[in-house]
Amino acid sequence: MKTVNIKIDGVALTVPEGTTVLEAARMANVSIPTLCFLKDINQIGACRMCVVEIKGARALQAACVYPVSEGLEVITNSQKVRDARKVTLELILSNHDRQCLTCVRSENCELQKLSKQLNVKDIRFKALTDKEMQPIDNSSASIVRNNNKCVLCRRCVAVCQKVQTVSVIETIERGFRTRIGCAFDKPLAETSCVNCGQCIAVCPVGALTENTHIPQVWNAIADPDKYVVFQTAPAVRASIGEAFGLAIGERCTGKMVSAIRRLGVDKVFDTDTGADLTIMEEGTELLNRIKNGGKLPLITSCSPGWIKFCEHNYPDFLDNLSSCKSPHQMFGAVLKTYYAQKMGIDPAKMYVVSVMPCTAKKFEAQREEMKNSSGYVDVDAVLTTRELARMIEEAGIDFKALPDTDFDDPMGNATGAGVIFGATGGVMEAALRTVADVLTGESAPMEKIDYHAVRGIEGIKEAEVEVAGIKVRLAVASGLGNARKLLDSIRAGKAQYDFIEIMACPGGCVNGGGQIIQPSSVRSWTDLRTERAKILYDEDKALPLRKSHDNPMIKELYDEFYGNPGSEKAHHDLHTHYIARGKY
Amino acid sequence: MGVDCGNCSDEKSRKLLAVIEAEKDNPGSLIRILHEAQEIYGYLPIEVQKFVADNTGIPLAEIYGVVTFYAQFSLKPKGQNKINVCLGTACYVKGAEGILDRLKKELNMDVGDCTEDGKFSLDACRCVGACGLAPVIMINDDCYGRLVPDQVPGILAKY
């Protein structure tokens, strides 16, 4: 690799050619403020927060897009630079709706942090008048856009277009009227938005948030007639600690369970049990399709962002989708039927709350198809990981000081297979563990159940495994841009598979749109996907049971209630169907 | 309008499709395609933008972003007679705003709109290069200068 010699604030260093000044400064331990920058996703030099002096250059230059060259001399903190950044920031703040006290992103806002860092003490330009305020778009079941807080960094647009290829938002008009929105200024709910929430995850400010269910959940907890059951998805435990100062990648399952219990809920269960059930149903579906010449490849259906993407963009693949509901919906259905009967609880009084790393689950939970099992909705409210953290904070619970406790019996004991559902490749691996045992009629030893070929953060993974003498061609895609590539290659006849796992978010649920938000200063330089996924694979490794069909609760459920996987009753309660939606 | 027809049997869509086929593999061709589309249809309603999106693979939101960025693209139909009111510096100080207000009142519409009968559309523009005649309006290719608001009804009556 060719290198060049440069100087940053007088410090000489050698860096690879083509490095940006911003990255080079990092290597010299010099921190340059940024706002629109998001490594590899949005490097457009739009916000001018990262301007620096470059010797010989006519004007200040944006460090995030300026490539180094031999002999380059950079000054990052002269009076001129500080003044320029400050005036720019003042202008950004001039039409920012500065409701910091009540903003959901207070203390986790990149703009607020910059304002402090640049020592802005006075905003000389006027704030928004009521007349200039833009309407808030809360049409979507999942995502709320408040453009009055938008700083036009375009990170949401970049992630929606480049990473997810959903492309429903763009910069509209120009000059002072510039805003981010959908084509023809349609409300988000009327577009082909898939509700993945990656836009929220990258928003530096409070312009994008989830459509919150916190008030109704508090009301349900406070209602003595309601039996409130929480279930938590595997990926939630991989991120929630970050909200309370735990390191990224630090496991805190036990503290999370304790915290939820202290909110005053009746039961805390693990969605992983639902995941184990999903594997039984989906594994059976796969076996049936392979044995009976059914439609292949079978494509997983756990990710509601992916499902809506498929409904809009690949309606020709709807028959390939597994008919299985996603794990939390299955689990909600089980709670309101089997569990309610067993415990003598009126399902009308049961209030199921799913805590998810996901915003698309909010949309999924209110789909008409999700009301057929008990006659009531399977899931009453969906909280993101962030919303749960907010409730814990509101309840005055000292998260870090909590003891570890276990999920409640009997629905809280899941297997390692259920845990790894939260990472890309996890659903596939969990399914293979069960399918292999069913086909061979034997129990594979523990050292033979790790399918490393489907692990890791690559966007598209392919593998061929032999299960009981049958060759199964696998593909795993995470991030909808990768899903699009994979499906296009199948459509074009360039690739053939038997079983495909698709998750909407890059890296899977651990990097979901509902997870704790990490600022660009962290996201750009830390691989959240790997760090968080490690928690799940460690937990899998530590569990005594690591195959879904070994879960005694699952066995009991089939013995007492559903009969067999794929039975008529199971189909009625645990499966769903999909709708072709228009492209726009 | 017929642009949403699947088989593109009408002449306008066929014409636009030919433009798209010729241009779509050239980088940065969207603006050229939109120019041609506006030539063909007179403006760029949602159906036309969807047609461009469907046949180029460019997301609809991106197309809308480009259309709203550039002033020369219009989301609304233009009238048989296109009125342009110069709001350049010279015209402005000589009272162009009064002319514009009178036009709005006489035609009962706002800048950017088109009358219901399709006869007139009203736009504001920057300098038309006739500062000596300020304030100036253009109707199609006709120029009217040194105007006072009371002349407006008489001028409109000619069309």
Structural contact between residues A173 and B68, judged by C-beta atoms closer than 8 angstroms: yes
- Is A119 found in the same domain as A21? no
Residue (of A309, A297, A277) closest to A553 by Cα position = A277
B chain contacts of residue A183, beta-carbon cutoff 8 Å: 46, 49, 60-61, 63-64
Q: Which of A162, A189, A210 is the last residue of a domain?
A: A210
- Please tell me the CATH code under which domain B81-157 is placed: 3.40.30.10
Overall number of domains in chain A: 3
**DSSP assignment of A443-470, as one string?**
---GGG---GGG-SS-SEEEEEEEETTE
Structural domain for A26, as ranges: 3-92
Contact B54 A174 (CB under 8 A): no
The shortest C-alpha distance from B54 to chain A (Å) reads: 9
Residues of B whose CB is below 8 A from A172: 64-65, 68
Residues of A in contact with B49 (CB under 8 A): 183
With 60 as the cut, is the pLDDT of residue B4 above it?
no
- β-strand partners of A268: A230
Of A210, A234, A255, the position where a domain reaches its end is A210
- Coil vs helix vs strand at A8: strand
Cross-chain residue pair A584–B60, CB shorter than 8 Å: yes
Which residue of B46, B50, B69 is in closest CB contact with A173? Answer: B69
Instruction: Let me know whether A288 and A376 are in one domain.
Output: yes
In this prediction, residues B65-89 reach a mean pLDDT of: 92
Residue A583 lies in a domain: no
Residue B6 pLDDT > 60: no
Rounded Cα distance between A396 and A407, Å, is 21
Question: Are residues A127 and A267 both part of a single domain?
Answer: no
Residues of A in contact with B59 (CB under 8 A): 161, 167-168, 170
Give all strands (DSSP E) within A238-358, no chain letters.
267-270, 298-299, 350-356
- What pLDDT was estimated at residue A126? 78
Give kind and range of the element (H or E) at residue A416: helix A416-419
Residue ending a domain, among A66, A92, A118, is A92
Shared domain for A366 and A400, answered yes or no, is yes
Residues in chain A predicted with pLDDT less than 50, given as ranges, are none
Pinpoint the alpha helices (H) of B70-133: 89-93, 96-107
In 3D space, the residue among A144, A305, A248, A127 whose CA is nearest the CA of residue A516 turns out to be: A248
A367: which 2 tokens?
């789909």
Chain A nearest CA to B14, separation (Å) = 22
The active-site residue out of A53, A242, A285, A387 is A285
Whether residues A407 and A544 share a domain: the answer is: yes
- Residue A381 forms beta bridges with which residues? A353
Both tokens of residue A205?
């400010």
Q: What is the dihedral of CA A224, A141, A419, A499, to 10 degrees?
A: 140
- CA dist., res. A537 & res. A524, Å (int): 23
Residues of A in contact with B60 (CB under 8 A): 167, 183, 584
- Sheet containing strand B120-125, edge to edge, reads B120-125, B81-86, B137-139, B142-144
Pairing of strands A267-270, A227-232: parallel
Are both A162 and A259 inside the same structural domain? no
- What CA–CA distance (Å, rounded) separates A473 from A471? 7
d(CA A371, CA A361) in angstroms, rounded, equals 14
Query: What pLDDT, on the 0 to 100 scale, is given for residue A76?
Result: 97
Check residue A577 and report its DSSP letter.
-
User: What is the three-class DSSP state of B114?
Assistant: strand
Six-digit token pair at B99?
A: 């002319």
Helix axes B46-56, B11-23, angle to 10 degrees: 40
According to the model, what pLDDT value does residue A132 have? Answer: 80
pLDDT at A407: 95
- Quick check: B56 and B20 in contact, CB under 8 A? yes
Question: Letter for the amino acid at A335?
Answer: L
**If we measure between CA atoms, which residue out of A66, A2, A70, A71 comes closest to residue A34?**
A66
E strands, A27-79, in order:
51-54, 61-62, 73-75
| Beta-bridge partner residues of B31 | none
Q: Is B70 helix (H, G, I), strand (E, B) or coil?
A: coil
C-alpha to C-alpha distance for A335 and A274, rounded to whole angstroms = 10
- Provide the pLDDT for residue A411: 79
- pLDDT, residue B7, reads 47
Q: Which of A496, A512, A352 is nearest to A426 (CA)?
A: A512
Report the CATH number at residue A121: 3.30.70.20
Contact A183 B61 (CB under 8 A): yes
Identify whether residues A100 and A192 lie together within a single domain: yes
Interface contact B64-A171, CB threshold 8 A:
no
- Shared domain for A305 and A346, answered yes or no, is yes
Do A205 and A269 have their domain in common? Answer: no
Please check whether residue A454 lies inside any domain of the structure.
Answer: yes
| Euclidean distance between CA atoms A171 and B68, whole angstroms | 9
In a domain, A580, yes or no: no
Does B61 contact A168 at a Cβ distance shorter than 8 Å? yes
Domain positions in chain B are: 11-69, 81-157
Residue A62 domain-assigned?
yes
* A85 occurs within a structural domain: yes
A115 and A78: one domain?
no
Numbered residues of chain B with Cβ closer than 8 Å to any chain A Cβ: 46, 49-50, 53-54, 59-65, 68-69
C-alpha distance from B137 to closest chain A C-alpha (Å):
26
Please name the residues in contact with B114: beta carbons below 8 A apart, sequence gap of 6 or more: B76, B77, B78, B79, B120, B121, B122
The shortest C-alpha distance from A483 to chain B (Å) reads 17
Residue A477 lies inside a defined structural domain of this protein: yes
Closest in B46, B50, B64 to A170, CB measured: B64
Query: Does the annotation count A324 as an active-site position?
Result: no
Q: Which of A387, A330, A248, A295 is nearest to A570 (CA)?
A: A330
Cα separation, A449 vs A275, whole angstroms:
17
pLDDT-based confidence at B27, cuts 50/70/90? confident
If pLDDT is split at 50, 70 and 90, which confidence band does B29 have?
very high
Catalytic entry in A210, A364, A429, A539: A364
Which CATH number covers residue A431? 3.40.50.1780
Number of Cβ pairs < 8 A linking chain A and chain B: 38
Identity at A456, one-letter amino acid code: G
Q: Is A509 annotated in the active site?
A: yes
- Provide the CATH number for the domain around residue A86: 3.10.20.740
How far off is chain A from B37, nearest CA to CA, in Å?
17
Q: CB within 8 A of A246, min separation 6: which ones?
A: A252, A400
Is the residue at A183 inside a domain? yes
**Which candidate from A173, A182, A583 shows the least CB-CB separation from B61?**
A182
The answer to whether B23 and B29 have CB atoms below 8 angstroms apart is yes
Identify from A167, A170, A191 which residue to disrupt to test chain B contact, counting B C-beta atoms within 10 A and taking the largest count.
A170
Contacts of residue A213, Cβ cutoff 8 Å, sequence gap at least 6: A353, A362, A381, A382, A383, A387
